[in-house]
Structure 1
Amino acid sequence: MTLNGRIVLLLLPASLLFFSPGGSEAASLGGVDITLGPQTFKNVTDFSTFLLDRSSGVLYLGAKDAILAVDTNNLNQQPRKIVWDVPEDKRKSCVAKGKTEVDCNNYIRLLEFLGDGRIYVCGTYAFDPHCAFLEQSSFTLEKTEDGGIKTETGKGKCPFEPAQHYTAVMASGILYTAATSNFLGTLFDISRATGPEQERIRTERSINWLNDPEFVSSAFIEASADANPTGDDDKIYFFFTEMAKEYELYTKVKVPRVARVCKSDVGGMKTLQRRWTTFLKAQLVCEDKSSDRRFNVLKDVFTVLHYAGDPSSTHFYGLFTSQWEPEDVSAVCIFSLTDINKVMDGSFKELKKNCDNWMNPEPPPTPRPGQCLNSALKAEGFESSLKLPDKVLTFVRDHPLMENSVTAAPVLVRRGIGYTKLAVTLTGRGAVLHLGTDRGEIHKVAVVGQNTTLLQESPVFPSNEAVNNILLYQGWALVGSPRSLARIQAEGCALFSSCMVCARARGLGCVWSNEEEACSLSEKDVFSPGPGDVVDAALKKCGSLDGRFIFLH
């Protein structure tokens, strides 16, 4: 079956995908759906990073040689702008080293709140990453006594190249990053990039730890305060794709990974000095077993806390593709924090040096390698990672990979479409996936139980502008491409302007009124939808079930 010439499949057993022939109704909503934008900004391009001040609605945009502050309530208002470019002599030096003139600029790749009224800003700075401090109140970069911009090195915090993959997250005012750390782009580190110098630690330079990774996302997860009053059990999770050393094939195999480190880790005394002593990683498996198809390249991850105040309810929605497919294919799998931690608490793999592959190791020493030094372990005398026995540090150095994988079946698979970004809204009855494409579109998909329903396809940008940012805020989606910004209504039944499209959202509680010719949320009936029955009934009320296709197996 096709939608606008593109094949659409859903491969999760007992799941449904609904749409009209040609997708005209869903696509036609695009013109109504975009409330503000798309907006371009004069002489500013290459937007790569978003940072939203949710208290004011000001969106900070990192671009080429510039930082913008945009009022999201009025995209047509001229934004404030800071120019932070590269001196001409430095640009020429960059070109002389073999880089292109286009790449030898300052692409702002990192924006993070410091919590003291300032934003930490890092840019590629002609392949010599620099970081500066932006005062939010005055919207100016801090200056030195001689009037120049106050900077510090950005190596290990920000990519060297404009298009290099990286991720960063703030945890208790400290920056944790996963990025390249040299000019050639051959060294990769997951590190604590700021804070006291003696606590700035990183991964071991070993292909067993990181093997040509493409970093995707990161998340800081605080453990339950009741059992973790000091925060020592808080963890940072990193998601990436790397070359698999555990598989021996003629073709290099990419595998998606999740890695974990502890916020309280300060490295070892001798072994793993200034290195992580808690670094563990596991393979993520997004696989449709009915077709034996596995999606092995991770594109994006969106972190969702399902129940406020309960960190264990955290789920990670992963956007995948495959290195094996001859055409574009995109899949979404959902992984729970509980399942990830269960694998991290399980068996280790061991690399046997004589045959260079991974096997099960001997039983691990005590205390268990890779676990955070919580209050219970501190009571046993392990006050910090500096106190860990050498045998524990040696074991974790040599056994970063877990034996078991974290597995999930896809809730959505689409062929012929390249999804680039993912954001998720929880509705109370289900989840809505907001998916950006490489053709400048936003697709909305409802996931209710085991039912998956395509709701909308909305063109936002020109087809040659891929969506590279989606940020959800107060019922809206702030959507970015390298050249443009738009604000789109993201929540509410009212945005479904026909009976047929409203019926597709029936699983979310949306009901069409023929009298008012409008779609609204029904508060009366709380139901547990079966495999398509709720949507079927709603579609029948629209007059016909014709014009939709169901993929079910």
Structure 2
Amino acid sequence: MAVHPLVCISSFCLLPLAFMLDQDSTLDCVPRRSVPYHSESAHIFHEEGVSNYTTMLLREDLGLLFLGAREAVYALNLSDISKKQASVKWEVTQQQKADCQGKGKEPETECKNYIRILHKMADDRMYVCGTNAYNPECGYMSYAGGKLTLEPGEDGKGKCPFDPFQSYASIMVDDDLYSATSMNFLGSEPVLMRSSSSPIRTELRNSWLNEPTFVSMAHMPESQQSPKEDDDKVYLFFSETAVECDCYNKLVVSRVARVCKGDLGGERTLQKKWTSFLKARLDCPVLDSQVPHVVRDTYRWCDPRKHWKDCLFFAVFTPQFDTSQLSAVCSYRVGDISKVFAEGKFKTPVAVETFIKWVMYSGDVPVPRPGACIDSEARQAGITQSLDLPDRTLQFIQDRPLMDQAIQPKEGKPLLVRRGPAFTCIVVQQVQAKDGGKYHVLFIGTEDGMLLKAINHGDEMFIIEQVQLFPAPHSVKILRFSKDLIYAGSDYAAVQVPVATCGRSSSCLDCVLARDPHCGWDDVTGSCIAISATERGLIQSVKEGDASLCPTAAPVPVVNRSISPSENVKLLCASPSALAISSWEQDGRHLTSSRHLQLLPDGLLILNATESDAGLYRCVWAERSKGRKYVVAAAEYQLSMKGDSRSTPEARRAGASMAGWQTAVAVLLLLLLALLAWNFYSGHLPLPRMCGKTRGGSDGSRDHAADHPDPTASGWSEDKLLVPSSHNFRSNNNHTDGNGGKEDDATRVTLSSLQFIDDESEI
């Protein structure tokens, strides 16, 4: 059968992808530990009837977390957010709800006031905005004397979205609000706007913003240490429909845009419009995919001891189509982004037949450079503000705000690519480990309510753990952190968890293999503790995960268990790591799963126990780290049958055999007696004379009797128990001796639906 050439070509093209999938290095990066929701290790805040806890403002100066929700703002204790310090309601009126409903909106969901903006101002007041039943409104909020006071009344159009479910972004810089949202009720007029004494906004053109989804904003102090006395910048991350793509279908691409803080607009061209708005494509290559992934959230991280160019933006990306379940994290150096805007080529629209094609601009670029901020060179030319820019420069940037070159990630590839529930948000913390190294610890929220904690070293991404944040799965909408605490918000509730829970590791091996920069093994106390909790040297190996540094552990104690015939027994052996592979041995013999033995993730289940199940059981788990394999004996059990031989199946079978033998002997005796009677009757044998007294003597008689053997039941004896060998391991199992103390009832499982099956029939 002939094969179509396209099939061959497609197969050949897919080989690199199949090879990368087979490598399994990052796609199926499994968290080493999965932690279910624990109310004792998490503080949660939720009020009945209130939802959408998705706006946060950390006020470390007040020790408070201000939390914006639907029609309410809360002041929560920063150390324990379950403790409410104050709150204020901001509800819509019945008239506002009726007006909103009259415009076709749903009264109980859309026609509410969703708090969307919450920023600190220089005078310690807070600026707050809400959707206000599709009529955005802003105001000022104060906290004093344990009370929150709200003073609404400002128009929120262009600052806060109309639609509570529409994307937006905002930031406060020097008491000026920079916001990215929609200007109208329909959501069809996207805008990047600065609300100040000199308000300014973007042009209403598709070449500027084309059906955007706004993500986040960040301020960069680029005027610091600038030889050209440059201006500060405000960066905007978003995605939009690509104008430069020659596609039949709409293709969404990720963007980063920036404006200058001192921009005042143009004198004639671009009046009250940004003269410094430039944007570029943001790439995060995922398996050489032809369809770009879309940015969902970003986090700016800066080392205060380094230049601003060395600051990093960490961004999470998700697929724009449902055909892929791969999410990614990429990082970008601010200096690389700035260079593209300052020195890169522009794209320009060109009419080709019936459509517009965007190509690289190769003509002369006006001076001053379009989109540039006012710096020392511009001032020397007599241009002291954007109002002085020539129309040629302004006309150029009005038509060509898009850069030709795309922004590439710092390492040229993602830090992490993982298959599973989509990533939603990210925060990053730098931690200095005991080895002197500094590591970026990534905290990533997911759509199913998980918080991933991961590190990246070299080309390796390692997920330390994933923690379930809420009692039920809810998408993580926002993440913030302060000191050693992480705060997460969802539609259902807000929750607070520590950045590190070292106490979850009960052994040195477990602590070191976790490779958590926050934690180390303290050999003095014999516990895994936070590195910030002591000045002593701790055992830690973040780069290599080298657990050979751990001291020799104590042998695992043998737990004695007495079991009954036909009993279902479970032997516990929970592995501390999802990367570990467990195995079981019985008297040194490797065990595999069968109908009789079930190998479970947390132990071994023996169904319908028999005498052959007695013996020494050993649970071993093995984990690899950086090419090294560590094997640990996690548990040992000595099983023995209880009761005497008569209570065992073997004794019952022996008794049945003895009864059959006795029956056979009785039948033979009856046949012998019948034969003797027939011979007497036929005269072949003389009848015996009667016994009587005679003078001087007596006649004796000969008795005929059949010897009946006295059958006895054959007993059984238990096999000798193997003497357990010593192993240098440590266990947390605490059990009493099965012969002399209480049994561990937690390890016995009785399955009423399973019956003992005796394949040998009694005779």
What band does the TM-score fall into relative to the shorter chain? 0.7 to 0.9
Q: Is the 8 A contact 2:350 2:358 kept in 1?
A: yes
User: Where do residues 385-534 of structure 1 align in structure 2 (5 Å cutoff)?
Assistant: 385-408=386-409, 409-428=413-432, 429-491=438-500, 496-497=505-506, 499=508, 502-506=511-515, 508=517, 510-512=519-521, 516-519=526-529, 521=531, 529=543, 534=544
Q: Is the 8 A contact 1:260 1:281 kept in 2?
A: yes
Larger RCO, structure (CA 8 Å, separation 6 or more): 1
Q: Which residue, out of 517, 535, 540, partners 2:545?
A: 535
**TM-score when normalising by structure 1:** 0.87
Q: CA deviation at 1:514?
A: 6.5
Instruction: Check if 1:333 corresponds to 2:337.
Output: no
Q: Is the 8 A contact 2:239 2:252 kept in 1?
A: yes
User: Where do residues 179-194 of structure 1 align in structure 2 (5 Å cutoff)?
Assistant: 179-193=181-195
Q: Give the AA of the match of 1:166.
A: Y
User: For residues 480 and 542 of structure 2, what CA distance do their matches in structure 1 show?
Assistant: 30
Q: Which residue, out of 240, 243, 258, partners 2:241?
A: 243
Q: Is the 8 A contact 1:496 1:519 kept in 2?
A: no
Instruction: Check if 1:125 corresponds to 2:97.
Output: no
User: Where do residues 46-445 of structure 1 align in structure 2 (5 Å cutoff)?
Assistant: 46-101=52-107, 102-137=109-144, 139-141=147-149, 149-193=151-195, 195-196=196-197, 199-227=198-226, 233-288=231-286, 291-292=288-289, 295-308=292-305, 310-345=307-342, 346-354=344-352, 355-361=355-361, 362-408=363-409, 409-428=413-432, 429-445=438-454
| Cα distance, 1:479–1:497 mapped onto 2, change above 3 Å | farther
Q: Is the 8 A contact 1:328 1:416 kept in 2?
A: yes
User: For residues 496 and 278 of structure 1, what CA distance do their matches in structure 2 show?
Assistant: 52
User: For residues 65 and 454 of structure 1, what CA distance do their matches in structure 2 show?
Assistant: 37
- Kindly report the root-mean-square deviation, in angstroms, between the aligned alpha carbons of the 2 structures: 3.1
User: For residues 376 and 13 of structure 1, what CA distance do their matches in structure 2 show?
Assistant: 52
User: For residues 278 and 256 of structure 1, what CA distance do their matches in structure 2 show?
Assistant: 19
Q: CA deviation at 1:307?
A: 3.9
Q: CA deviation at 1:528?
A: 9.5
User: For residues 288 and 365 of structure 1, what CA distance do their matches in structure 2 show?
Assistant: 37
Q: CA deviation at 1:228?
A: 7.3
User: For residues 21 and 372 of structure 2, what CA distance do their matches in structure 1 show?
Assistant: 36
Secondary structure of the residue aligned to 1:506 is coil
Q: Give the AA of the match of 1:206.
A: R
User: Cα deviations across residues 433-474 of structure 1 (Å, max 9, x unaligned)?
Assistant: 111111122111112233211101111113331111211111
Q: Is the 8 A contact 1:26 1:457 kept in 2?
A: yes
Secondary structure of the residue aligned to 1:59 is strand
User: Cα deviations across residues 126-168 of structure 1 (Å, max 9, x unaligned)?
Assistant: 10100011122254445xxxxxx54110001001111110000
User: For residues 183 and 528 of structure 1, what CA distance do their matches in structure 2 show?
Assistant: 52
User: Cα deviations across residues 207-257 of structure 1 (Å, max 9, x unaligned)?
Assistant: 000000000010000125343797x61000000010001011122111000
Q: Give the AA of the match of 1:535.
A: G
Q: CA deviation at 1:501?
A: 5.0
Q: Give the AA of the match of 1:517.
A: S
Q: CA deviation at 1:273?
A: 0.5
User: For residues 210 and 391 of structure 1, what CA distance do their matches in structure 2 show?
Assistant: 22
Show the counterpart of 1:145.
Answer: none
Show the counterpart of 1:3.
Answer: none
Uncovered stretches (5+) of structure 2, i.e. residues with no partner: 1-18, 433-437, 554-576, 582-622, 628-763
Q: Is the 8 A contact 1:504 1:539 kept in 2?
A: no
| Cα distance, 1:469–1:541 mapped onto 2, change above 3 Å | farther
Q: Give the AA of the match of 1:190.
A: L
Q: Is the 8 A contact 1:47 1:480 kept in 2?
A: yes
Q: Give the AA of the match of 1:112.
A: H
User: Cα deviations across residues 483-542 of structure 1 (Å, max 9, x unaligned)?
Assistant: 21221111475565555653344373854456703255486899994xxxx125569989
Uncovered stretches (5+) of structure 1, i.e. residues with no partner: 1-8, 143-148
User: Cα deviations across residues 407-439 of structure 1 (Å, max 9, x unaligned)?
Assistant: 121111111221211111111321111111111
User: Cα deviations across residues 350-398 of structure 1 (Å, max 9, x unaligned)?
Assistant: 1113441111221210011111102332222101100000000000011
Show the counterpart of 1:146.
Answer: none
Q: Is the 8 A contact 1:297 1:321 kept in 2?
A: yes
Q: Give the AA of the match of 1:222.
A: P
User: For residues 265 and 103 of structure 2, what CA distance do their matches in structure 1 show?
Assistant: 36
| Cα distance, 1:350–1:74 mapped onto 2, change above 3 Å | same
Q: Is the 8 A contact 1:131 1:152 kept in 2?
A: yes
User: For residues 13 and 301 of structure 1, what CA distance do their matches in structure 2 show?
Assistant: 28
User: For residues 114 and 137 of structure 2, what CA distance do their matches in structure 1 show?
Assistant: 10
Show the counterpart of 1:6.
Answer: none
User: For residues 88 and 325 of structure 1, what CA distance do their matches in structure 2 show?
Assistant: 41
User: For residues 306 and 12 of structure 1, what CA distance do their matches in structure 2 show?
Assistant: 37
Q: Is the 8 A contact 1:257 1:282 kept in 2?
A: yes
| Cα distance, 1:13–1:526 mapped onto 2, change above 3 Å | farther
Q: Give the AA of the match of 1:375.
A: S
User: Cα deviations across residues 301-331 of structure 1 (Å, max 9, x unaligned)?
Assistant: 0110034462112100000011134243211
Secondary structure of the residue aligned to 2:84 is coil
Q: Is the 8 A contact 2:141 2:149 kept in 1?
A: yes
Q: Give the AA of the match of 1:376.
A: E
User: For residues 14 and 265 of structure 1, what CA distance do their matches in structure 2 show?
Assistant: 49
**TM-score when normalising by structure 2:** 0.64
How many corresponding residue pairs? Answer: 525
| Cα distance, 1:359–1:100 mapped onto 2, change above 3 Å | same
| Cα distance, 1:91–1:542 mapped onto 2, change above 3 Å | farther
Identity of aligned residues (%): 33
User: For residues 311 and 20 of structure 2, what CA distance do their matches in structure 1 show?
Assistant: 25
